[in-house]
Structure 1
Amino acid sequence: MVSQSANLASRLWNTSVTSQHYASPGAEKYQAAVLEQYKLYVEMADRISARRSLTNTFFLTVNTGFLAGASALGRFALREVPVWGLSVATLVVLFQCGVWLLLIRSYRQLNRAKYSVIGELERKLPALLYGDAEWGELGEGRSWGRYVRLTNVELAVPVVFAALYLVAVGVTVAMR
C-alpha cells in the first residue's frame, strides 16, 4: 500500500512547478490567471458531463415510453397494424437509437479533448489532479476491475433497445 501511495504522490505533484515559480515578480498574477482559467475549464467540463447525463435520461425515457406503448398495443398490433406501419415505426426507433449512439460518441470525444486540455493546464499548477493522479489511480481505464468507462456502459444501452425493438417486431410479424 505504501508503494501505491508513493506512486500516487509522484503522479499528483508536478515537480516542474515549485514554490519558486510563485516567488518571481509577476508570477502571482500569471499563476492566478492560470488557476482561474483552470477552474473555469473544469466547470465547463462538468457542464458537458451534466448535459451528457440529461441527454441519456431523455433517450432512456423516450425508449422506455416506446416499449411501454408497444406493450400496451400488444394484441392490437398483432391484428390491426399493417406490416408497413410496423416497419416505419421500427425504422424511426432504430434511427433515434442511432442518433443516441452518435451523441454518446460526440460527448466522449468532447470530454476526452476537455480532459486533455485540463491535464495540460495542470502542468502549470502544483498538482496534476485529473490527467496524471486520478486517471493513473483508475488504471487509465485499461482494467474493468479498477474502472469501467462510462462510455462503454452508455453505448450498450441504445444497442440493447435497438435489439429489443428488432426482436419485438420479429415476434409480432412471426405471430401473424
Structure 2
Amino acid sequence: MENTTEDKELLLNQWQTCVDMANSVSQRRDNMNNIFITLNLAIMAAVSITWDIKSLFILIAGITICILWMLNIRNYKLLNTAKFNVINSIEEKLPSAPFKDEWQFLKNSKKYMDSTTLERILPITFIILYIAAVIAIIVIKCTSC
C-alpha cells in the first residue's frame, strides 16, 4: 500500500514539474513576443524618421524579422502542445485532470480563440504595414523623379 502512495506522490511531483516547465515556456514565449514587438516598433520609428529609399532596406529587414517571429510562434506552439500532451498523459493516472478538463471546456466554447492565432496577428499586421510603406516610398520617389 505504501508503495502506491509513494508512486502517486512521485507522479504528482512529476506532474507539478511538467506544469512548472510549461509555465516557464509560456513566460519565455511572452518575453520573445515583447522583444519582437519592441524591435518592430523601433523599425517603424526609424522608417518614419528617414522615409526615403534607404528605408527600404530597414523595411525588408522588418519583414524578415516578422517571418522569424512567426516561425518562433510556431515553434513555441509545438513545444507547448508537446508539454501539455505529457501533462495530459500524467493526468490520466491522477484522480483529476484539470488541464484536460479546461482544454475540453475551451474547445467547446465558441468565444475562445487559440492564443497562437491571436499572436500571429501582430507580425502579419507589421508585414502589411511594411509592404504599404515600401509601396508608398516607391510611389513617392517615382512621382518626384
TM-score (norm 2): 0.91
Contact 2:47 2:59 in 1 (8 A): no
- Indicate the structure (1 or 2) with the bigger Cα radius of gyration: 1
The AA in structure 2 aligned to 1:154 is E
The AA in structure 1 aligned to 2:102 is E
Q: How do 1:60-139 and structure 2 match up within 5 A?
A: 60-74=37-51, 77=52, 83=53, 85-131=54-100, 133-139=101-107
Please give the alpha-carbon distance, in whole angstroms, between the structure 1 residues aligned to 2:76 and 2:85.
14
Equivalent position of 2:8 in the other structure: 31
Partner-residue secondary structure (3-state), 1:138: helix
Distance change (3 Å), C-alpha of 1:88 and 1:68: closer
Q: How well do the aligned residues superpose, as a CA RMSD in angstroms? A: 1.4
Match status 1:166 vs 2:119: no
Equivalent position of 1:12 in the other structure: none
Instruction: State how many pairs are aligned.
Output: 141
Partner-residue secondary structure (3-state), 2:113: coil
* Alpha-carbon distance, 1:89 to partner: 2.3
Match status 1:54 vs 2:22: no
State the 4+ residue runs in structure 1 displaced beyond 4 angstroms. none
The AA in structure 1 aligned to 2:107 is G
Contact 2:66 2:127 in 1 (8 A): yes
Partner-residue secondary structure (3-state), 1:148: coil
Please give the alpha-carbon distance, in whole angstroms, between the structure 2 residues aligned to 1:108 and 1:44.
14
Q: How do 1:146-165 and structure 2 match up within 5 A?
A: 146-165=111-130
TM-score (norm 1): 0.76
* Alpha-carbon distance, 1:147 to partner: 0.8
* Alpha-carbon distance, 1:42 to partner: 0.2
Which deviations, in whole Å up to 9, do the C-alpha atoms of 1:149-173 show, x marking residues without a partner? 1100111111110110010111011
Equivalent position of 1:4 in the other structure: none
Which deviations, in whole Å up to 9, do the C-alpha atoms of 1:75-129 show, x marking residues without a partner? xx2xxxxx4x344323211111110000000000000010011000101110011
The AA in structure 1 aligned to 2:3 is G
Partner-residue secondary structure (3-state), 1:26: helix
Partner-residue secondary structure (3-state), 1:158: helix
Distance change (3 Å), C-alpha of 1:87 and 1:72: closer
